[in-house]
Amino acid sequence: MKLMMEDNRTEIVESVKRKFFRKFLKEISLDELNFLLQLPVCIKDILLERFQQSEDKEIVEEYFRKHSFLSKVLMKNPATFKMLELIYTGENIRGLIDRYSFNTPSAQALRNRLLSVTSIARRIIKAKANKKIEMKVFNLGSGPGRDTIEILEGNSYLTDFVSMDCIDIDSEALEKGKELMKKKNLIGITFTQGDIVRLKRRDEIDLGLIIGVLCGLEHKTCVAVLKRIKRSFKKGGIIIASNVLKSMPGEDPFMSYLLKDIIGWKLVYKGIEEIRQIFLEAGYEWEGILYDEPTRFHGLGIGKVPFT
Ligand SMILES: C[S@@+](CC[C@H](N)C(=O)[O-])C[C@H]1O[C@@H](n2cnc3c(N)ncnc32)[C@H](O)[C@@H]1O
C-alpha cells in the first residue's frame, strides 16, 4: 500500500515537471514544484494546461483573489504603490500564494531594484554635496518615496545641500511616505500631490527618479511621459527611469504568466536598445543603463537633458 502511494506521488511529480516544461519551456524549480503540489488539484491542473474553457480562468482568478492578499491588491489596481510595499517589507505576507510570490526571483528583483536605485542616487547626490553644490531631486511617481527616505537614512547631512520632493497622484501613498519619514526621524523630504505629466515647474530639477512608472506603458507613451517631464529639468539634469526587462519573463516565466494571465497586470517588457531609443526619442542624451543587481530584471536607464 505504502509503495503504491509513493509510486503515485512520483508519477504526480513527474507529470507536473513535464507539463511545466511543456508550457513554460524551462525546467521547474524546487520552489515552483512545491508551490504547485500544494495547490488544490483543479487549480494546479488549470495552471499547467492551457485554459480549456472560459470558466477555468475565472476559477483560478477567484481562488487567487480569495487566498492571496497580494493578488487581491494587484487585481484591484496593479499600478499602485501597495503591492510594492508588500514586496519591499513582507508585511501581511501569509498563505501559500503570497509566500511563494514573495520569494520568486521577480519579487527579489524588486527589492534589489530598491537597493540599486538608492545606492546610485545616493552616490550622485553625495558627489555634489561633497563639493558643496546644492541640488533639487524629484522622485516622480514616488509612491511613499521609500527609496528617497533610504537615501537620507544615515546621511541626513545631505539635506544641507539637497532638497527632495516626492510627487505622486495618489494622496494615500504620500501620507504613507510622511508616516515613514516621521518613523525614521528624518526631515527634508516634501510630499506633493500632482500629476507628473502636468508639472508646472520649469528648469528646476537636477536629478529625477521615475521608478516603476514606465513598466506598464507602451514605447510611445513612455516617450511622451519622458518628453513632458523634461521641461521641469535644468539643462544638464539627470533622469533615472526604470523599466522591466525581457529577462524577467525569460527567467521567471511562471510568475510572469501569473501576473499577466491570472492577476491581469500587463507589464510591457522592454529590451535595452528599446529603452535607449525611448530616451533618445524623448530628447535626452543617453548616458547608459544600470540594473537591479544581481537579478537584472529591471533596467535603470540614465538620460541627460542636453545643454542645447
Ligand atoms: C508602481 S508604483 C511605484 C512607486 C515607487 N516609485 C517605487 O518604485 O516604489 C507607481 C506609482 O506611480 C504613481 N503614478 C502613476 N501615474 C502617475 C502620474 N501621472 N502622476 C503622478 N504619479 C503617478 C502611482 O500613484 C504609484 O504610486
Q: 285 has which bridge partners? A: 304
| Residue spans of the chain under pLDDT 50 | none
26 and 121 inside one domain = no
Q: Whose CA is nearest to atom 25 of ligand 1?
A: 170
What is the predicted pLDDT for the residue at 27?
A: 97
What is the predicted pLDDT for the residue at 14?
A: 96
161 and 239 inside one domain = yes
Residue 211 CA, ligand 1 centroid: distance in Å: 8
pTM of the model: 0.94
Residue 60 CA, ligand 1 centroid: distance in Å: 28
27 and 80 inside one domain = yes
190 and 282 inside one domain = yes
Which CATH number does the domain housing residue 196 bear? 3.40.50.150
Domain end residue (candidates: 35, 70, 104): 104
176 and 257 inside one domain = yes
Q: Are 31 and 51 in contact (CB under 8 A)?
A: no
94 and 197 inside one domain = no
What is the predicted pLDDT for the residue at 200?
A: 87
Residue 80 CA, ligand 1 centroid: distance in Å: 7
Nine-digit cell string for 141: 511617481
What is the predicted pLDDT for the residue at 110?
A: 97
At 302 the three-state DSSP class reads strand
The residues lining ligand 1, judged by C-beta closer than 6 Å to any ligand atom, are 79-81, 84, 141-143, 146, 168-170, 173, 195-197, 211-213
What is the predicted pLDDT for the residue at 51?
A: 66
Number of domains in the chain: 2
44 and 184 inside one domain = no
Q: Whose CA is nearest to atom 14 of ligand 1?
A: 141
187 and 251 inside one domain = yes
Dist CA 35 CA 270 (whole Å) = 28
Residue found by looking up cell 541626513 in the block: 156
148 and 185 inside one domain = yes
Domain that holds residue 60: 2-104
Nine-digit cell string for 138: 524629484
What is the predicted pLDDT for the residue at 4?
A: 59
Cβ-based neighbours of 293, under 8 Å, separated by 6 or more: 112, 115, 116
